[in-house]
Structure 1
């Protein structure tokens, strides 16, 4: 039988009034009402708090079992239970999750099976999990957590309050800023893909740069960030990378840029601040994306956009027969364009 109980790392409960104060929002209801979790509006549970991010989900309010709901002042009249009033309910919900997120502190600061080189420098409150390796010259800031099985190689630096989840690998001489969160399977600082042909085989170009990651960056599971060939690969403050992303050598990612899963960025691409790349986007090498650019999912960027905007590419899914006909017509476009040019030229000549 499946056990649906979640391990939260300890029972967490707040009063509704406490939550309103912590989130800086208006309370409408009983400040003493206990809240012990978060639930979705359509699957709400007693004693929890939910949120209404868009009016299209308003119909869920009528039958909600939640103790309270986060919503706007305009939606308050439709809510039959207590509420927290926010102009931005989804953002308020995001901040609320930090209060209920499970934490599993290690039973002891450094697990007996961890290997920590005497030449490493550990700040106050550092925790290192089972079978982790911290090499010579590594500097770990105050409150850093290194998950079980993670490896931090020679000379790398990790800023205060950053966390490596289990089985993260950080190659030599990389820099990770403060409050970073790097998920399992991520590899930071592996060699970029560089080879030169000598006519018979490919000669490896050793990658001499680093990876430098700013503050408040999150990197998803199994994402790879290659070190620079000569200069560094850079990720700016506040950037958020999803799972299974590939950043090639010398890529620059601007502050607060976000990327969804399976994005692939070729070498020496410069992505500006506040960009957003949907899932499966590919960006060809040596291009630039202006700050504030959005690229829709599954698009291929093969030239640098001239200005910020929303860009899209690729053929959407359709029934097989329709898709095959469209693909055939696409292959015929060049011939159609040439015939059209001839017709236009003949018409112009006929007028003269």
Structure 2
């Protein structure tokens, strides 16, 4: 998916310096910038990289004043670091969402599964477990008997939720975490 500097600036309420039609499709560190990438400059110790980066767009704080010519399109914002976080969130939400239960997943017959849930291969949902609407359960996650997971959650690979544990709405459990262990 591609975004233009104009679209990005509108979303994060920034001011464009350069080509408003410059487009990006990925993120990169400023020192590793490539054409088609967006980077950011927040820490002054990385300032030298802004003059060399190949990134198409760079987010900078409003008080940034370049000392020489910059090839990239700049978007000046109040806080470059926070603006990048907003863009990463927007990017994540724009990805197509998978739904359905993979045939290689195990879901107990007594489990209750909400609407638009994705259960990946090799995930295991135990007896009487409940999974809320719009939740994604990645490969090799184990949801114990009687555990309840709320809506709009992401349970990443190799996560274990022990029996009878409760996970609220809008939670993200990262790979390898264990909930309910001693």
Q: Could you tell me the TM-score, scaled by structure 2's length?
A: 0.87
Q: Does 1:181 align with 2:172?
A: yes
Structure 2 counterpart of 1:60, from 28, 49, 62: 49
Larger relative contact order (C-alpha < 8 A, sep ≥ 6)? 2
1:99: Cα distance to partner? 4.0
Matched positions, count = 179
Runs ≥4 in structure 1, deviation > 6 angstroms? Answer: none
Q: TM-score, normalised by structure 1?
A: 0.47
What does residue range 272-283 of structure 1 map to in structure 2 within 5 Å? none
Cα pair 1:159 1:179 within 8 Å, conserved:
yes
Question: Where in structure 1 are there 5+ consecutive unaligned residues?
Answer: 1-11, 193-352
Within 1, Cα distance between the matches of 2:27 and 2:142? 34
Aligned to 2:148: 157
Of 68, 72, 75 in structure 1, the residue corresponding to residue 61 of structure 2 is 72
Match of residue 35 from structure 1: 24
Q: Which runs of 5+ in 2 are unaligned?
A: none
Pairwise CA distance, 1:165: 1.3
Cα deviation 1:4-60 (Å, max 9, x = unaligned): xxxxxxxx2111111122223333332221112122112221222111112222112
Q: Helix, strand or coil: the match of 1:84?
A: strand
Q: What SS is found at the alignment partner of 1:98? A: helix
Distance 1:23 1:184 in 2: 30
- 1:87 maps to which of 63, 78, 83: 78
Q: Is the 8 A contact 2:12 2:77 kept in 1?
A: no
Distance (Å, rounded) in 2 between the aligned partners of 1:26 and 1:160: 37
Q: CA deviation at 1:158?
A: 1.0
Separation in 1 of the partners of 2:121 and 2:55? Answer: 40
On the 8 A contact 1:37/1:47 being kept in 2, the answer is yes
How big is the shift at 1:116? Answer: 1.4
- Indicate the residue corresponding to 1:306 in structure 2: none
* CA displacement 1:221-262 (0-9 Å, x = unmatched): xxxxxxxxxxxxxxxxxxxxxxxxxxxxxxxxxxxxxxxxxx
